Amino acid sequence: MQKDARHRFDYRARTERHGAARSDHLSQQTLAIVLAGGRGSRLKQLTDRRAKPAVPFAGKLKIIDFALSNCVNSGIRRIAVLTQYKAQSLIRHVERGWGFLAANLGEYVDVVPAQQRLGETWYSGTADAIYQNLDLLRDAGAAQVLILAGDHVYKMDYAVMLAEHAASGADVTVACIEAPLAEAVNFGVMATDAQGRIVEFQEKPANPKPCPGVEDRALVSMGIYVFDADFLAAELERDARDPSSSHDFGKDLIPRLLAQGRRLVAHRFADSCVNMVGDRPYWRDVGTLDAYWEANLDLTHVVPELNLYDDQWPILSLQMQLPPAKFVFDGDERRGAALDSLVSNGCIVSGSTVRRSILFSKVRVGDYSLIEDSVVLPDVRIGCHVVLKRAVVDKRCVLPDGFQAGVDPDADRARFHVTERGVVLITPEMLGHDAPSADSAPMPLDG
């Protein structure tokens, strides 16, 4: 596939700008902490059994793979993943899929469940989560700490942000991006001076302040921070002693440091983005079902906004050993075909048509079925004469012969969750059965 201009990333220019040796040194001296404990309640029943960072994405990935891949590609090989809410599938994925780093060279991805190390309370905020694990920071002996959210989809060279942090002499560097005002209410909104220093910060304001000269967009925090390690530890200990604090970076720590006159600097994501769409950096908060469905379906376009075919910046993940996808029957009445779709390993499409959809691994589609504009998660069994349109089907659902969804809105609302945009979410529990075990016998697909 010829690389589209919108996907180009000038690695040489970035490296020369900040100095290759300097960037490599900073990455090696950095500990990345990925906050991956959130439920993601706006994804509704899709996160009833898993944390948001563990939600499958793009046919063979998990959402957390983007933050972890960005770390490894940026030269950051010491990573701690902090978990809390229903973390078992996330823990399993990270342990099995990210154990390839060289431990003998001090490289690792540690999964850190909430342990009530400092009392009988779970994490009460993003700052508290790191405070309860300050021993990890001290044991690492890191000079800088990179704090990341584990639930966003983007490609970013963190080494560029680290270099800017060091060059600016900032106490804190906050990654930022412009967002529509309607979406900015869900983020921390900031204002900067001509030198990029943050002069105002409001967490999730009801009326976000627009960017100067751009009345429909605001400058928002991406939840990505760089701190010098000693400074961070001292501020977290100070925050932990404050009974009035909710112990959150956006609500408490960042506004307090700003009020104290500390030097907070904004890092523009466009300067470190590895996936530009024209002049816009690609970044998605797939926190709602509609956003999740749309971001996945965008990958079926001829030239998707998110480039997953970039060998220079691969998105790594656990790769299961599965046979190739298979399409069977080629008659006039039944033909196994997938058009403008992503079909993962282990899938069998038998005498059915798949259009503008994503089939995750080991999906089986029976004869005479039609799948359109849908996201079908792993191990789903779809029977014969099934019609599925504008749907998200959770892992290990079994759709019986003649099943329909996305055809009759009233019938869908009676059984399933339907979003404002008419996307139907289907889970095993909604179908009236428990999720079958992974080794359940597949339905026959021989016609």
pLDDT tops 70 at residue 118: no
Find the helix packing angle between 20-28 and 11-18, rounded to 10°: 80
pLDDT tops 60 at residue 95: yes
Identify the residue with better confidence: 10 or 344.
344
Q: Considering the entire predicted model, what is its pTM?
A: 0.92
Residue 12: the pLDDT is 41
73 within 8 A of 157, measured Cβ to Cβ: yes
Range from 1-10, 167-176, 337-346 carrying the lowest mean pLDDT: 1-10
The helix, strand and coil proportions of the chain, stated in percent and rounded to the nearest 5, come to: 30, 25, 45
Identify the residue with better confidence: 122 or 126.
126
Q: Please choose, from the candidates 370, 358, 353, the residue with its C-alpha nearest in 3D space to the C-alpha of residue 297.
A: 358
pLDDT tops 50 at residue 23: yes
DSSP 8-state class, residue 346: T
pLDDT tops 80 at residue 91: yes
296, two tokens: 């996945």
Structure confidence by residue, pLDDT tens digits, 182-232: 999 999 999 999 999 999 999 999 999 999 888 899 999 999 999 999 999
Question: 269 falls in which pLDDT band (50, 70, 90)?
Answer: very high
pLDDT tops 60 at residue 425: yes
CA–CA dist 43, 330 (Å, integer)? 38
pLDDT tops 80 at residue 146: yes
Residue 58: count of CB within 10 angstroms of its CB: 24
pLDDT tops 80 at residue 16: no
Structure confidence by residue, pLDDT tens digits, 63-83: 999 999 999 999 999 999 999
**H-helix or E-strand containing 256?**
helix 254-259
- DSSP assignment of 93-117 equals HHHHHSTTS-GGGT-EEEEEE---T
Question: 17 falls in which pLDDT band (50, 70, 90)?
Answer: very low
CA–CA dist 275, 305 (Å, integer)? 8
Identify the residue with better confidence: 375 or 1.
375
75 within 8 A of 47, measured Cβ to Cβ: no
Structure confidence by residue, pLDDT tens digits, 288-301: 999 999 999 999 99
Question: 38 falls in which pLDDT band (50, 70, 90)?
Answer: confident
DSSP 8-state class, residue 324: P
Across the range 290-317, mean pLDDT stands at 97
Distances (CA, A) of 434 to 315, 373, 376, 397: 32, 26, 17, 9
pLDDT tops 80 at residue 9: no
Range from 15-19, 136-140, 274-278, 413-417 carrying the lowest mean pLDDT: 15-19
Q: Please choose, from the candidates 226, 248, 232, 221, the residue with its C-alpha nearest in 3D space to the C-alpha of residue 172.
A: 226
How do strand 381-382 and strand 398-399 relate by DSSP bridges?
Answer: parallel
Residue ranges and CATH numbers for the domains of the chain are 5-298 (3.90.550.10), 326-426 (2.160.10.10)
Q: Please choose, from the candidates 360, 429, 361, 439, the residue with its C-alpha nearest in 3D space to the C-alpha of residue 397.
A: 429
Q: Which residue has the tokens 């063979």?
A: 60
Across the range 338-344, mean pLDDT stands at 98
pLDDT tops 90 at residue 440: no
Query: For residue 339, what are the contacts with CB-CB under 8 A and spacing of at least 6?
Result: 353, 354, 355, 356
pLDDT tops 80 at residue 120: no
Q: Which amino acid is at 51?
A: A
